[in-house]
């Protein structure tokens, strides 16, 4: 089976992890700060907070920005459920903005229209989470300008997008947001097995997220209250969580990030070959906005011309092509339907989902494997 995505683990990665396993620290040692520094330097951002998943990063980002009961969080329906769930974890209310039919990212015009209505109803969002679907940045400059007009905070869900660029700046630099979140799940651009980070240029947000990832506990003297019993003292200042990344994971990340540009370059080579080989097929291929340089986490095609997506999907799986679908719109999930959402609420996302198939895209896919994928697609479309 040729998977739709997979990690690339080298001897260098294994050696890095082995070094930690043979050290004095498996967790809360020196590797996590080293990984945070590596991410900060790569993205050109001041601060990075490493955690055990991108979901955890989204949660503490929302908490650090003060999201709470009766507040609104808006995001895209074309994403994994974590982008919306993080709002519910904070007891906030969640809504969605439909997607652009070309980029599959949040539609800025739909956002503008919804903000105008929300302002009249006094229901403006406290936080907006644009999702950089498949590795391509949203139109962050326009979204940022709207945030200044309407007063909401921005968390970029860049789970797919480390290594990508927007307006020639690295995604993760937070030029147009308060916080950016990356995922390091095995099928993402680089991996820490499981893990994620939040980046920010705000030292206060960094300090808040640092504390929230570790039970709300601190040993920082300037944050502690009253007279201390001794140098062993710590204090719980917030209600936090055990969201820490281990040194084992961080060591893998430090090793992997050294190859990130090579990974992205190879993904672009794979994309160009797919574009050329699939150009004549009755498919909609992914479109790249000229303002962006995508990390190309996914290569989603849309099956059109009356073809049955389910039949094409099954034929590809039967042929040993491990295709997948990204994503079932969040608002159509049973849990969200019980919150009042229904089919038809966000028609562009629903239309995209109806025809979408993600085909194999990862740096170590060979030319021969790509040709197998294309051959299987050709047969499935007949």
Same domain (yes/no): 223, 280 = no
Query: Do 264 and 212 fall within a single domain?
Result: no
pLDDT in tens, 25-34: 999 999 999 9
pLDDT tens-place string over residues 8-61: 999 999 999 999 999 999 999 999 999 999 999 999 999 999 999 999 999 999
Statement to judge: residues 171 and 269 lie in one domain:
no
- Do 264 and 251 share a structural domain? no
- Residue 373 vs residues 30, 313, 370, 380: alpha-carbon distances, Å: 43, 12, 5, 11
Residues 109 and 180 reside in one and the same domain: yes
Q: What is the pLDDT of residue 306?
A: 84
Instruction: Tell me which H or E stretch contains 138.
Output: none
Give the separation between CA 302 and CA 316, rounded to whole angstroms. Answer: 14
CATH code where residue 194 lies: 3.40.640.10
Domain end among 222, 257, 292: 257
pLDDT, position 379: 97
225 and 279 inside one domain: no
Q: Are residues 16 and 124 in the same domain?
A: yes
Question: Same structural domain for residues 94 and 240?
Answer: yes
Residue closest to 136 by CA, chosen among 338, 333, 290, 356: 290
Give yes or no for a contact between 205 and 63, defined as CB atoms under 8 angstroms apart.
no
CATH of the domain at 331: 3.90.1150.10
Q: Lowest mean pLDDT: which of 95-99, 204-208, 304-308, 315-319? A: 304-308
- How many CA within 13 A on the CB side of residue 189? 30
> Would you place residue 364 in the very low, low, confident or very high pLDDT band (cuts 50, 70, 90)?
very high
Name the residue range of residue 280's domain.
Answer: 260-380
Q: How many domains does one find in the chain?
A: 2
Tell me the pTM: 0.97
75 with 156, same domain: the answer is yes
Q: What is the pLDDT of residues 225-274, one digit of tens each?
A: 999 999 999 999 999 999 999 999 999 999 999 999 999 999 999 999 99
Q: Tens digit of pLDDT for each residue in 127-145?
A: 999 999 999 999 999 999 9
Question: What are the pLDDT digits (tens) for 294-316?
Answer: 999 999 999 987 889 999 999 99
Same structural domain, 153 and 243 = yes
């Amino acid at each position: 089976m040729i998977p739709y995505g997979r990690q690339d683990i080298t001897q260098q990665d294994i050696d890095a992890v082995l070094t930690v396993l043979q050290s004095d620290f498996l967790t809360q040692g020196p590797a996590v700060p080293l990984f945070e520094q590596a991410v900060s330097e790569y993205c050109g951002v001041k601060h990075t907070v490493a955690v055990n998943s991108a979901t955890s990063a989204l949660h503490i980002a929302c908490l650090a920005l003060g999201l709470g009961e009766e507040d609104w969080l808006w995001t895209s329906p074309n994403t994994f459920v974590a982008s919306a769930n993080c709002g519910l974890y904070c007891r906030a209310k969640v809504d969605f903005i439909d997607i652009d039919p070309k980029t599959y990212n949040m539609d800025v015009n739909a956002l503008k229209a919804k903000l105008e209505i929300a302002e009249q109803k006094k229901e403006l969002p406290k936080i907006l989470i644009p999702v950089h679907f498949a590795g391509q940045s949203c139109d962050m400059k326009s979204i940022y300008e709207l945030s200044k007009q309407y007063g909401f905070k921005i968390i970029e869900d860049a789970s797919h997008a480390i290594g990508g660029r927007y307006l020639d700046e690295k995604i993760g630099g937070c030029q147009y947001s308060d916080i950016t979140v990356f995922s390091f799940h095995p099928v993402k651009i680089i991996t820490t097995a499981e893990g994620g980070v939040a980046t920010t240029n705000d030292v206060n947000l960094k300090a808040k997220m640092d504390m929230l990832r570790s039970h709300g506990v601190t040993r920082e003297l300037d944050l502690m209250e009253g007279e201390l019993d001794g140098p062993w003292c710590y204090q719980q200042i917030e209600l936090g969580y055990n969201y820490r990344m281990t040194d084992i994971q961080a060591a893998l990340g430090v090793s992997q990030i050294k190859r990130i540009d090579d990974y992205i370059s190879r993904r672009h080579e794979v994309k160009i070959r797919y574009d050329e080989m699939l150009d004549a097929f009755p498919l909609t291929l992914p479109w790249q906005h000229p303002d962006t340089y995508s990390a190309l986490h996914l290569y989603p095609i849309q099956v059109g011309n009356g073809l049955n997506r389910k039949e094409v999907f099954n034929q590809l799986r039967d042929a040993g092509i491990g295709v997948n679908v990204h994503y079932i719109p969040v608002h159509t999930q049973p849990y969200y339907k019980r919150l009042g959402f229904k089919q038809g609420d966000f028609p562009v996302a629903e239309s995209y989902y109806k025809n979408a198939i993600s085909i194999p895209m990862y740096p170590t896919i060979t030319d021969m494997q790509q040709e197998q994928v294309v051959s299987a697609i050709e047969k499935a479309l007949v």
